[in-house]
A = this chain, B = another copy of it.
């Protein structure tokens, strides 16, 4: 029996046993699910299933478990690491969560809400606002990513400095396990010490241990205004000194602290309409920082005074505080335009690294020197969430400086050099994007044998048939 007819029989069994679950098989229907956001991977699939309820998904998983069908859960398909794309075999089942997208409950008095995995992040943010609350996960892809995917990958974003990662924002989850059992722990409790932290284990496991179907999230009171500055600094050391000054002066009011090199600003201004550099001063580095408050207070004054103090101390060369919401949006649009500008500018190599904040200046100096010495045609565009020690340490080949194939050929050597420096500084080779398919070998290289063994032991215990997102995270 050939593979195609085996697939046909499997599909028939799925249809029979999971009646009511939409199963897409036509090429035009499945195509959007088979390639990743960055177009690094192009897979095939047995079908794309779109369950609408937990019971449907549980039945589907039970069937896949019994038949040994590999399952690839997919949210908004915005992974940077190919984490939601099936392999090329055509034997895996993609499960799209988009139809499970209800806001189940909001409890404003408890500052919590329960939402289904397929809710767009934007939908979650709006529902919270509708109840007079604030949900602080903020990502550029809010309009297309889904909260289930955010949790499966423990997403980070622009507010981690103050509010933490997606895992930190979650009180409870519901998930369907590899054999169809339902883990239901949607408790909206701040404190609950009853056994192992299964919630934290499932969050960030990238669909390799189960499929998150709903979550109870922490909310905050609605925000009262913010103050946002665009600041020119001489170097990364000055930026980190400014960060310490801001933490000391503003405490938890500091929402965001983003570092941007001049190259990133130039790229954004060149490739993305309606963007412009906020400061006349040409500097090697800029900081975009924002204070926010839940109460009425003079944030502009606080930010202005702190920046004046930083200027006197020689840390700041020039600064502008947004005078209007439109100006604030303009600052952030510039920041958020960088990934798209990089895409348009030409081929590149991306890294999503973190080091201790105190090690950022030395790491950037050493890694930049390596790039200057070994990738002469490349332009370093290292930007990101410096307040968390996280930089997207990317290199672009501008204006036809190299073909995509040339860049791809150089990528392994570059990645190795940058990641070795990250490791030397006690850092991480995946700060917020996860491992997916892209970084399986990197995880093996930079993780101790003991840790990998523990992960494999847990994987075997919870997914003994290895059907959950095969080939991702721990590899095969």
Contacts and interface: CB of A to CB of B under 8 A. Distances in A.
Interface of A: 107, 109-112, 153-154, 156, 160-161, 164-165, 167-168, 177, 181-185, 187-198, 200-201, 203-205, 209, 221, 240, 244, 247-252, 293-295, 354-359, 385, 388-390, 426-435, 443, 446-448, 450-455, 457-458, 460-462, 473-474
A190 B389 contact: yes
Contact of A454 (B198, B426, B443): B198
23 contacts: A107-B356, A110-B358, A112-B356, A160-B191, A177-B450, A181-B450, A181-B453, A183-B448, A189-B356, A189-B426, A189-B428, A191-B428, A192-B354, A193-B434, A194-B446, A195-B435, A195-B474, A196-B205, A196-B454, A196-B455, A198-B455, A201-B458, A252-B252
B191 A109 contact: no
B189 A165 contact: no
A362 to B, nearest CB: 12
Contacts of A182: 450
B461 A460 contact: yes
A431 B357 contact: no
Given A293-B251, A462-B458, A204 B193 contact: yes
Nearest to A462: B457
A183 B451 contact: yes
Contacts of A434: 193
Nearest to A456: B461
A295 B249 contact: yes
Given A109-B244, A454-B462, A447 B194 contact: yes
A307 to B, nearest CB: 15
Contacts of A450: 177, 181-184
B454 A187 contact: no
Contacts of A252: 251-252, 294
Contacts of A204: 193, 196-197
A197 B203 contact: yes
Contacts of A427: 187, 189
Nearest to A388: B190
B250 A295 contact: yes
A194 B355 CA distance: 13
A182 B111 CA distance: 39
A217 to B, nearest CB: 13
A426 B107 CA distance: 13
A451 B172 CA distance: 13
Given A294-B248, A390-B191, A461 B455 contact: no
Nearest to A390: B191
A335 B61 CA distance: 51
Contact of A197 (B190, B200, B250, B390): B200
Given A198-B454, A458-B461, A389 B189 contact: yes
A354 B191 contact: yes
A412 B244 CA distance: 53
B461 A192 contact: no
A453 to B, nearest CB: 8
Pick the 7 closest A-B CB pairs, nearest first. A251-B294, A200-B200, A109-B358, A461-B461, A192-B428, A191-B431, A110-B358
Given A195-B473, A196-B205, A426 B188 contact: yes
Contacts of A294: 247-248, 251-252
Interface centre among A293, A356, A473 (most CB of B within 10 A): A356
